[in-house]
Amino acid sequence: MHAGEIVRTSIETVPHRPSAVMRLAQVSVAVAAGDDVLLEHLHLQPGVGEERRCRQPADARPDHDDIAVGCPGVVLGNGETVRARAVVSNADLKRTLLELVPPSALPQDFRGDLENAAPANSCFSVHLGVDFIPELGPSTHLHAPMKLGIAMMSKCDPSAAPPGHSILSLIALVPHAEALSWFPAESGRDDKAWRESEDYLRRKREFGDRMIAAAETVIPNLSQHIVYRADASPVTYARYDWASAGSIYGMSSAGQLKGSKTPLRNLVIAGGGNIGAGVEAVVISGAHAAEALVPGLLARPGSKPNAAVRPPATRAPDKADREAVRC
């Protein structure tokens, strides 16, 4: 598994005082993918009373059945057990429960349904820094020569780029079947040797080039103004988000988790793999995770204004969601 960051912090304000909530920033089992949102909703000050473990892999399918009982912690790759009364994972539901939880811990029918559930769409994105300000709105959708979303966040927040410059994100959805073709042997997993191979790097570069060429139909000469470029394929999303086949929406409708709670007590799911892609959805997922651990928390008197707003009910992405490009 990939390395990440664990945050261990005592919770002083919740009933029964669970001893820890853990967060892993990239990929492992205990991440509030809403970043510090979960800690804020639990009335904790990020950075205070925390213990952070950077680049600590979690143990895949640990042979520690006690970890599954009440979800009291996380087993690291080095064999160390970090105890906690609650665990929040931002790996998607399938990778969390099928790879990081002992098989005996899950109801057989639930596990079977999850094994058969297909991930939703992935995407390919090209992130650019350019030395001019295109005559374009903050969000544009192309249908030809290819379906493409163009987000220019510096249009909304000029401080996101130096004066006279802009940041652009080009986003193309990739259906699950096509996303699998980006991985060796349809594994849907990160493979360092593969993502450093010439075949993969060439395909990645060529796909990004086609997206830039498509964007030039509305931003003439875009390729001549690029000062920074970073491409992300389904392999990239699988690596950094610990998402099945790089899915940006989590599971397909049939495999969606309704809410944040899993069948295991005190193990909840957060992140884009449960609610949907994008910053807004991930922030909402952090609030959902906090509410799942401490019911009624978001409606408590004295909560922050944004915490008092009841988050929308979790639902599976519908056809319109999958056809839209979320910037």
Whether residue 40 has pLDDT greater than 60: no
Same domain, 127 and 148: yes
Q: Bigger pLDDT: 48 or 124?
A: 124
Number of domains in the chain: 2
Confidence of residue 47 (pLDDT cuts 50, 70, 90): low
Percent of the chain with pLDDT over 70: 67
State residue 323's pLDDT score. Answer: 40
Of the residues 246, 270, 294, the one at which a domain ends: 246
Whether residue 221 has pLDDT greater than 90: yes
Same domain, 196 and 297: no
Of the residues 187, 212, 246, the one at which a domain ends: 246
Whether residue 86 has pLDDT greater than 50: yes
Q: For 7-16, 19-28, 163-172, which range has the lowest pLDDT when averaged over its residues?
A: 19-28
SS3 per residue for the chain: CCCCEEEEECCCCCCCCCCCEEEECCCCCCCCCCCCHHHHHCCCCCCCCEEEEECCCECCCCCCHHHHCCCCEEEECCCCEEECCCEEECCCHHHHHHHCCCHHHCCHHHHHHHHHCCECCEEEEEEEEECCCCCCCCEEEECCCCCEEEECHHHCCHHHCCCCCEEEEEEEEECHHHHHCCCHHHCCCCCHHHHCCHHHHHHHHHHHHHHHHHHCCCCCCHHHHEEEEEEECHHHHHHHHCCHHHCCCCECHHHCCCCCECCCCCEEECCCCCCCCCHHHHHHHHHHHHHHHCCCHHHCCCCCCCCCCCCCCCCCCCHHHHHCCCC
Same domain, 129 and 240: yes
Same domain, 22 and 168: no
Confidence of residue 299 (pLDDT cuts 50, 70, 90): confident
Q: For 61-70, 188-197, 269-278, which range has the lowest pLDDT when averaged over its residues?
A: 61-70
pLDDT tens column, 170-195: 999 999 999 999 998 756 566 788 88
Same domain, 147 and 182: yes
Same domain, 38 and 63: yes
Same domain, 98 and 141: no
Task: Report the CATH number that the domain containing residue 152 is assigned in CATH.
Answer: 3.30.519
Same domain, 241 and 171: yes
Q: Print the domain residue range for 145.
A: 122-246
Same domain, 127 and 239: yes
Whether residue 319 has pLDDT greater than 50: no
Same domain, 127 and 213: yes
Q: Bigger pLDDT: 189 or 272?
A: 272
The pTM for the full model equals 0.74
Task: Report the CATH number that the domain containing residue 289 is assigned in CATH.
Answer: 3.50.50
Same domain, 70 and 156: no
Question: What is the overall mean pLDDT for the chain?
Answer: 74
Of the residues 246, 273, 288, the one at which a domain ends: 246
Q: Bigger pLDDT: 149 or 304?
A: 149
